[in-house]
Amino acid sequence: MKIQSLALVGLISLSVVSCKRADDLLDIEADPGSAKMVAETTKAYDDALTMAEEATIQYLDDSTFTEYAIGNCVVITFDATNTQITFDLGTSGCVGLDGRERKGKIIVDYDGVPREPGSSLNITLDDYSVDGYSISGTLTYNAINYNTDGNLEFSYMVENGVYTEPDGDEITLTCNRTVTWTAGAGSENLYDDIFETTGSFAGSVDGEVYSGTTTSPVVFKSACWADGIYYPVSGELNLDFPDNISRAINYGVGACDKDIVITIGKKDYPYTLP
């Protein structure tokens, strides 16, 4: 009996220590800076994709269209033989609907009609920057087919992504996500669409590796675009770094804004994306 009692005391002690360590982990002070930089990076590539797809659809629909969201000063070169469109924002900058200044070129190689099953967009960013943030790499956006709910699904990939902040901090990104068009598909209106994205991504922040996954679908509403807001409205990402401390990025509950909340343990760090 005495031996059993001592064993029970030992187990209780270990349990208390274990719980204390878990509480300590939840209360840990961690710098949210790396998570902020990853959030900025994923947003930058989502933005480039959105701008490229929107501009491609508008140009193919009407080559005389001028009110491009990426900026009215964009110069467009169309190569019908190679089905390529170059959107040149120049070296002095072109201010878009969202008030941000973009420079460089977005080169789109397209196949088929965008947003139709089997179509694809291959996007190359050439000396491209937004408000002084340099963004390079290639993006692929393929319309696959309709899922069992009747919603069109896309595969979205980023390769060789390098996002460089004005102060020289560098974040790399590769991603492989699924985009599901959940609303607005039956309309001719570009601004009544809703897209949900899921999947994984990875990269490094100034050499420190990270990986991420979608824990709740990240939602985009094109209704926000009319106000120059090209940011997710809801959803959550989880990030893992070598310190084994998970960081969550939450995009809210549906509002058209630039605000996110980074959660580390029990602590929340509100942040407004650039």
Q: Flag whether 60 is in a domain.
A: yes
pLDDT digit string (tens) for 105-139?
Answer: 999 999 999 999 999 999 999 999 999 999 999 99
Q: Flag whether 22 is in a domain.
A: no
Q: Flag whether 158 is in a domain.
A: yes
How far apart (Å, rounded) are the C-alpha atoms in residues 155 and 140? 8
Average pLDDT, rounded, for the chain: 90
Report whether 184 contacts 204 (CB < 8 A).
Answer: no
Q: Flag whether 161 is in a domain.
A: yes
**Model confidence band, residue 190 (pLDDT cutoffs 50, 70, 90):** confident
Report whether 220 contacts 206 (CB < 8 A).
Answer: no
Report whether 228 contacts 98 (CB < 8 A).
Answer: yes
Q: Flag whether 12 is in a domain.
A: no
> For 7, how many CA atoms within 13 A lie in the half-sphere containing its CB?
4
Q: Flag whether 178 is in a domain.
A: yes
User: In the predicted model, what is the mean pLDDT of residues 22-27?
Assistant: 48
- Give the torsion sign (CA, 220, 222, 224, 230): positive
Report whether 100 contacts 89 (CB < 8 A).
Answer: no
- Give the torsion sign (CA, 109, 223, 174, 273): positive
Look up residue 69 and give its DSSP letter: T
Q: Flag whether 184 is in a domain.
A: yes
User: In this structure, which amino acid lies at residue 163?
Assistant: Y
Would you give the distance in Å from CA 64 to the centre of its chain? 30
Q: Which residue has the higher pLDDT, 3 or 90?
A: 90
Please tell me the pTM assigned to this model.
Answer: 0.88
Backbone angles phi, psi at 221, to 5 degrees: -120, 120
Range of the domain at 84: 32-272
Q: Flag whether 103 is in a domain.
A: yes
Number of domains within the chain? 1
pLDDT digit string (tens) for 50-95?
Answer: 999 999 999 999 999 999 999 999 999 999 999 999 999 999 999 9
